[in-house]
Every structure is written in structure tokens, then in C-alpha cells.
Amino acid sequence: MARTRARDVVDTPPKALVSSARRINVGKNRDAFKVSRNDGWQDAAWGFYDTIGEFHFAVNWVGNLLSRAKLYATKDDGDGPKRQESGVADEAVDALFYNEQGRSQMLRQMGIHYSVPGECYLYARDGDGLTRDEWKVVASRNVTGSGGTIKVNGKTVKNTDLLIRSWQPHPVHPGKSTSPARPALPILSEIERLTMHVAAQVDSRLSSAGILFMPNSIAFAASSQKDAEGGQIITGSADAFVQSLMDSMSEAIANRESASALVPIVVTADADAIDKAKLMQFWTGLDENAINLRSEAIRRLALALDMPPEVLTGAGDVNHWSAWAIDESAIKSHTEPLLNQIAADLTQGYLYPYLTSSAVGMSDEEAQQYGIGVDTSEMRLRPNRSQEAIELWDRGELSDKTLRTETGFTEDDAPTDQERRTWFLSKVASGSTTPELVEAALRQLQVPLGTVASSEPSTETQEARPTPSLEDHPDQSPPDESQASILAAQAEVMVFRALERAGNRLKSRMQTKFPGIAAEDLYRYHKCDSSTMDDILLDAWEKVPKVLGLDEEKAVPVVQVLDSYTRSLIHSQEPHDPGLMRQYLTLLTGARS
């Protein structure tokens, strides 16, 4: 098998099974890792991952979000960790899972494993130094050991292989793992059973059709059937009637032009027997509420998992304004802590043992200065900060590299030295200052001027060209405090108006009075699905342009944010929260400009 070499290093790292908290010498204690094995809840969690779509989506969402992070080496000389662009620590991080794409897939897989069983193993096959034949993320259930032999996916681990255990420690039993799926197992079981119940109801003939009881005194239309010898018999029994009914239905479906689709089936009966027919159906209270119970279970699952609940419940799937707030919440409250733990595990289980090995020979004290950091900048959907970047750069407070990054460009877009000289010369040619100042500035910038004719210093000064105004630059930042307060007050009125209209429409739909409940609070006592929300919020925001003094186009973002907030209230049946509404309103970038 061809080896993919990230760096050429002459020595081999320690031959050890390494965990995030301890190192176990493979040669002496090969089966010691078995103490970390958990009970059957991990297998149950994997089973739900394979069968419950909502859980599968949530777990993959976490993994996909983690895959957008970047790992890098750091060194702390006493004033905080600093990113390393070269050196042995940087080489070690570069060699991890071959390259940037490999590390991205590694983080994705670790995110999935951390969300389901709460642990996994990083396995690297035999290689010299940092070079490894193969890197894999292995499920804990696929790492086994007996009789001093450790196996990964059924293959024996050699002394020169690298095996690193990474897990989320249980608060009470640190050697065992835990995960967001573990406390959610009863909820997942409930969702599974409700889904099975709904499926059974769909498949059950008794549930869908029921039993029709007919009195013997009712005579049915004569039906022609074959007897055992193949002869025709005429019968008016109930069985013959059912057969005739089924034949008629089949003919009508197969041939829409058939007269049987329009001609009724004749039944004759005495007047007092007409109302004696009875249909028994097998509906239960659970059947009627199974869908709502499952929706509630999914909401509980969203709260139990380590992610913003809106991602799973669907309330967050509204527009690009609310996406920013959800992503920020996911990164700050959920993803960054998990990434920091993974980075710490990799430092403890991979980087530190390598730096202290004979391949590098660092002392423990020196090696502890190094670590693995996480860059989450590519995970964030930040508001456009190009205006602030231009203003700070113009004042000399921002680097050229940062300016290009904040305005959406890369280092490949930077001007060459010749292009920069040409730009300076063109600026000087169109400038309005003294020649001596121009010459001195250009020499400071090391722009070659050639031979400059000497002249008497000029005593005249000219007014400098004013700095170009940025007033016309698109303002995509959130409204300032005064604007935000005004907007919040206006928005609150419009939200109450929308909730009141929604409540009145609910009353009309249900034809029921709700004494003591205001129209704007009615949604809290009646569960609404997405179709019902569409109906009761129809035309709820038609006055937004007039109230805010905006044209139709500029009012669209405001309507989107207010509609998103109002739907989230109706979906969760929670009361109006001014603080939450303000969080939604902070997503408006430029709607008031």
C-alpha cells in the first residue's frame, strides 16, 4: 500500500494505546482499555441513529458543523497560546489525517461519535515517524480485546500502530463516556413506538375500515356467482352483496367510463330496518393524538440534544436573518466547547506523546507549552463588516490582510509591488500637496523616483484632498441603540396585532368561545401546525411598510424577521418575550438604511 507522507520524520512515536487522560503501554496492558466499556445504551443509541430520521439529522448536523473548523498548533510562552506556522508541532498537526480535508472528515466523524456513543478511537496503521499508512475514526464497539490482543474492525493492532481513545467523560464515572443521546433514549424510544403505532394504524384493515353490521332482514341486490361445479347461482346474501360491492368499485376504478361508476347498488329493506345497520370502528384516543404526541416528543428530543432546538423543530428554518442567530448560538454554546474538548484530547493523546518521544526529544515542561487550537471563523455567518474594515484601514489601524479578509478577498488578490508603485504614482499625480512632501513620502515608501530636478522649496501650501466619504457605502450593520429601541417598540405593536388577528381566526375556525382568554393569547391554548399558521397569519404584516415608513422592498427583511419570531411563539406556545424579539431584530442588517 502506498504511503501518503505529510512530513519525513526519522523516529517512531511511542508504541502505546493513548487516551485523553492516560497512556496505557500496549506491550504490558493491552486489555486495560476494557474498563472503559459501557453498558448496552451505546448500541441502543446507534440503533436509533439508524432508524429515527430526526435523530439521524440532528447528529449529522453536529458533525457537519464541526467539519468546518480548522485545527492548528499553538505555543504558550506565558502570555497566551500563539498560532504556530512552522516547527515540529505544526508538522505534527499537518500530518494528522494526512491533510486539511482529512482533518475535516475526522472532525465530522468525531462529532457524530460524540453525539451518539460519546466516544471513538483514532487509529493509525504502521508507519515511520509522523507518516502513517492509514488513518481511521473507529467506533468504540469495533475495538475489542481478549487474551492480550487488541483488534480494530477484526484486525489485530500491532505494537507500531497508533490507537487513541477520545471520549466525553461521565461526571460521576470519568473513565466511562456519556453523550447527549444517553438521556434522550426514553424520548427516542417514545418516538419509535409512536411511529410504529401510526404505521400499524395505516396498515390495519380493522382500524381503517372497521366492521359493518347488517341485519338479516335487509335484502340485497341479487348477485350472480359460480357454484362449486362452476354453475351460476343467484343469491341475495350479505356475502354476495359485499362481493358485488367490491366488483363494482374495482370496475369503476379501472374504467371511469363504466356505467357502474354512476349506477347505485340497490338495497331493499323494511322501513324499521333501514337504521339498524351499524359500523364499528376501532379508533382510540391515542390514534387521534398520536401525531401531536410524536411532535411533542420531537420537541423534547430537540431540547435534550446538544444543539439549538430550532434546528430540529423546524422553527429555525425560516430565512437567512434568523440563520445567523441560530449559527452563533450553535457555535458559542454547543460547538466550541465540543471542539475545545476534542482539541484537548488530541493534544493529550497525539501531540504531547509525539513531542516527548525520541523522534523529537522535548522535555515534559517544554512539550506542555504546545497545544492544538481550533479556528471557527469559517463556521460563522457574521454580519458584513467591510465598512468598518475600510474605515479602520484608512486610519492605519488595520492590516492589509485583514482588510481583504473582511471584504471577501484573499491574499491572491493583493497587488504586486509594481502594481502598488503604479497606484502610488497615480495618486501623487492627481494629488494636491507640495512636491517636497510628495517626494519625501514616496522615498519613505521606497518608490523609485529616478532623477529629481532640484528646485527652491515652495512656500505655498495647498489644501489636501479630503478623505473620500463612506456615507454611500452599503451599511449592513445592525441598527444603533436608538434605532433599535424605536424599531423594537414598533415591532411589538405589529407582533401583538398579528397574534390578535391569528387568535380571532382561530376562534372562527373552531366555532368555539374561549371566555377569559384574549385573542392574542389564544395560540397558547391551541396547538397549530404549519398549515394552520399559514392561514391565521395571512396578511398579518401588510401594514409593516406603512408603520415603518419603508417601501415594499426594504420592508421585506423586517416582515421575514417578525414572521419568524411570531411563528416560533405559536409553534412553542410560549408567551411574547421582548428580549427574544430584540434578538431577532438584531438580525436586521440594513433594513433601516
Q: pLDDT (tens digit, 9 = 90+) per residue, 312-324?
A: 776 544 444 455 5
Q: What pLDDT is stored for residue 194 in this prediction?
A: 84
Give the sign of the dihedral formed by CA 315, CA 316, CA 321, CA 325: positive
Cβ contacts of 576 within 8 Å, gap of 6 or more: 492, 495, 496, 499, 569
Task: Tell me the mean pLDDT in the region 247-265.
Answer: 65
Task: Tell me the mean pLDDT in the region 388-401.
Answer: 82
Q: Is the pLDDT of residue 426 over 80?
A: no
More confident residue, 590 or 294: 294
Task: Tell me the mean pLDDT in the region 324-344.
Answer: 76
Q: What's the pLDDT band for 113 if we cut at 50, 70, 90? A: very high
The number of beta carbons lying within 10 Å of the beta carbon of residue 172 is 7
More confident residue, 369 or 452: 369
3-state SS of 378-424 is HHCCCCCCHHHHHHHHHCCCCCHHHHHHHCCCCHHHCCCHHHHHHHH
More confident residue, 28 or 305: 305
Residue 379 near residue 65, CB atoms below 8 Å: yes
The chain-wide mean pLDDT, for the chain, equals: 74
Residue 26 near residue 147, CB atoms below 8 Å: no
The number of beta carbons lying within 10 Å of the beta carbon of residue 386 is 16
Q: Is the pLDDT of residue 227 over 70?
A: no
Residue 331 near residue 68, CB atoms below 8 Å: no
Beta bridge partners, 271, equal: none
Task: Tell me the mean pLDDT in the region 82-108.
Answer: 91
Q: What pLDDT is stored for residue 316 in this prediction?
A: 45
Q: What's the pLDDT band for 520 if we cut at 50, 70, 90? A: confident
Q: Is the pLDDT of residue 65 over 80?
A: yes
Q: Is the pLDDT of residue 399 over 50?
A: yes
| Separation in Å, CA 158 to CA 124, 236, 264 | 10, 82, 80
More confident residue, 9 or 204: 204
Residue 404 near residue 411, CB atoms below 8 Å: yes
Strand (E) positions, 140-178?
A: 143-146, 149-152, 155-156, 162-167
Q: What pLDDT is stored for residue 480 in this prediction?
A: 47
Q: What pLDDT is stored for residue 12 in this prediction?
A: 41
DSSP state of 433: S
Task: Tell me the mean pLDDT in the region 468-484.
Answer: 51
Task: Tell me the mean pLDDT in the region 258-281.
Answer: 66
Q: Decide: pTM greater than 0.95.
A: no
Q: What pLDDT is stored for residue 530 in this prediction?
A: 78
Task: Tell me the mean pLDDT in the region 484-502.
Answer: 84
Q: What pLDDT is stored for residue 23 in this prediction?
A: 43
More confident residue, 97 or 229: 97
Q: What's the pLDDT band for 3 if we cut at 50, 70, 90? A: very low
Task: Tell me the mean pLDDT in the region 576-583.
Answer: 83
Q: What pLDDT is stored for residue 563 in this prediction?
A: 87
Lowest mean pLDDT, pick from 62-71, 80-89, 254-263, 462-471: 462-471
Task: Tell me the mean pLDDT in the region 330-356.
Answer: 86
Lowest mean pLDDT, pick from 81-95, 447-461, 467-481: 467-481
Q: What pLDDT is stored for residue 21 in this prediction?
A: 37
Cell of 369: 507549552
Q: Is the pLDDT of residue 72 over 90?
A: yes
Q: Is the pLDDT of residue 569 over 50?
A: yes
Model pLDDT for residues 522-557, shown as the tens digit of each residue:
888 888 887 788 888 888 888 888 888 877 777 888
Q: What pLDDT is stored for residue 232 in this prediction?
A: 53
Q: What pLDDT is stored for residue 466 in this prediction?
A: 55
| Separation in Å, CA 138 to CA 151, 164, 244 | 11, 10, 62
Model pLDDT for residues 344-383, shown as the tens digit of each residue:
989 988 898 889 888 888 898 899 999 999 988 777 655 5
More confident residue, 590 or 326: 326
Q: What pLDDT is stored for residue 383 in this prediction?
A: 55
Lowest mean pLDDT, pick from 48-62, 191-205, 545-559: 191-205
Q: What pLDDT is stored for residue 360 in this prediction?
A: 86
Model pLDDT for residues 118-169, shown as the tens digit of each residue:
999 998 887 656 777 789 999 988 888 776 788 888 888 888 788 888 888 8
Task: Tell me the mean pLDDT in the region 86-108.
Answer: 91
CA 522 to CA 573: how far, in whole Å?
9
Q: What's the pLDDT band for 7 if we cut at 50, 70, 90? A: very low
Q: Is the pLDDT of residue 70 over 80?
A: yes
% residues pLDDT > 70 (the chain): 63
User: Going by DSSP bridges, is the β-strand pair 370-375/278-280 parallel, antiparallel, or unpaired?
Assistant: unpaired
Q: Is the pLDDT of residue 193 over 80?
A: yes
